[in-house]
Amino acid sequence: MNDHSSLPAAGPVPVLRLGDVLLVTLQGDLYDNTAQRLQQDLSETIAASRVTGVVIDISGVEIVDSFLGRVLAEIAAQASLLAAQTVVAGMRPAVAITLVELGLTLPGLRTALNTEAAMDLLTRPAPTPRSGGNRQESP
């Protein structure tokens, strides 16, 4: 089937703002042009709105390949440079296994079982590893 007009991921990926957090829900495959547009939209939105976090819900994604892994890592890196944290939510066990098998560590990304847990992660302070010393967290 070569009818690209019926592909669900062909249009823009919706980005919702919930307070200081942007919520992105990925459904199905993410293609090159859609991924580039998402990265640009997120960067512009983070810079313009000064949000502090990004939640990427991938519960609707069946397969994560090296392309999507790289896109997620690049989004996290861009968000971090703009002072926002990124959390990936809803990763299926098969997806986690695939990421490990591909050797993708996804630096800069934190994970949560679902969107609610991701929002909780972003609203509480997180330890920031710094070179030159360890930071103690109070209980």
Q: Which CATH code for domain 11-123?
A: 3.30.750.24
Whole-number pLDDT of residue 10: 45
> Are 87 and 56 in contact, with CB atoms under 8 Å apart?
yes
Q: No. of H helices and E strands in the chain?
A: 4, 5
Whole-number pLDDT of residue 2: 38
Whole-number pLDDT of residue 88: 95
Whole-number pLDDT of residue 126: 57
Kindly report the pTM of this predicted structure.
Answer: 0.79
Pairing of strands 21-27, 15-18: antiparallel
Instruction: List per-residue pLDDT tens for the chain, 139 residues long.
Output: 333 333 333 457 889 999 999 999 998 878 888 888 999 999 999 999 989 999 999 998 888 888 888 899 899 999 999 999 999 999 999 888 888 888 887 776 899 999 999 999 998 765 555 555 444 444 5
Alpha helices in 21-92 (DSSP H): 32-49, 66-81
State whether the Cα torsion 43-46-47-52 is positive or negative: negative
Whole-number pLDDT of residue 125: 65
Whole-number pLDDT of residue 6: 32
Q: Taking the domains of the chain in order of start, what are their residue ranges?
A: 11-123
Whole-number pLDDT of residue 4: 36
Whole-number pLDDT of residue 8: 39
Pairing of strands 85-89, 53-60: parallel
